[in-house]
Amino acid sequence: MNRRTTTLLASSLSLAAALAISGCSSDSGKAADGKPELSVSGAFMPEPVNADMAGGFLIVKNGSDTADKLTSVTSPISDDVQIHETKNQKMQQVQSLDVPANGELKLERGGNHVMFMGLKSTPKVGEKVTVELHFQKADPIKVELDVKERTHNPKTH
């Protein structure tokens, strides 16, 4: 084994050790009742292309050491709000999406998203759509999605 390989090996070993330590760290960052602390940002809905279906996008941030899952979404404008993931450019319904500890669940164009089926009304640009996010551990969070133009994509701004 030459010296360079040895150095690389040593640094990857110390990285693994550091990860292992943070992996079993204490309860710091947990709320007093043990529930993860989640916050939501950047929530929007592109104005629906057809009157029947719409997508919703947002970011759930988990500032705690406890992993959680987004398990369902409810909204006054649809009785059938689904959680979708996109794989190989095809979307499919999933039962839940992970909100990693000290990480983010990103619902964004081309990826995971909320899907509103059978819209009761057609939201227009400038309006707001209320949703309630339900989690496995954390309390439900109410969020307002800003209805944006159809091509709106925060990543390109």
Instruction: Give residues with Cβ within 8 angstroms of 131, minimum separation 6.
Output: 43, 56, 73, 74, 75, 81, 114, 142, 143, 144, 145
Dig out the tokens for 20 from the structure. 């292992």
- Specify the residue for token string 């990285």: 15
Nearest residue to the partner Cu ion, using Cβ: 84
Piece of 17-25, 35-43, 78-86, 129-137 that binds Cu ion (CB under 5 A): 78-86
Dig out the tokens for 84 from the structure. 């979708």
Q: Which is nearer to Cu ion, 67 or 91 (CB)?
A: 91
135 close to 61: Cβ distance less than 8 angstroms: no
Q: How far is the CB of 97 from Cu ion (least distance, A)?
A: 12
**CA–CA gap between residue 142 and residue 133 (Å, rounded):** 6
Piece of 27-35, 70-78, 86-94, 133-141 that binds Cu ion (CB under 5 A): 86-94
* Residue 48 sits in the site that holds Cu ion (CB under 5 A): no
* Ranges within 108-127 binding Cu ion (CB under 5 A): 115
Q: Which is nearer to Cu ion, 69 or 113 (CB)?
A: 113
* Residue 84 sits in the site that holds Cu ion (CB under 5 A): yes
Positions touching Cu ion (CB under 5 A) are 84, 91, 115
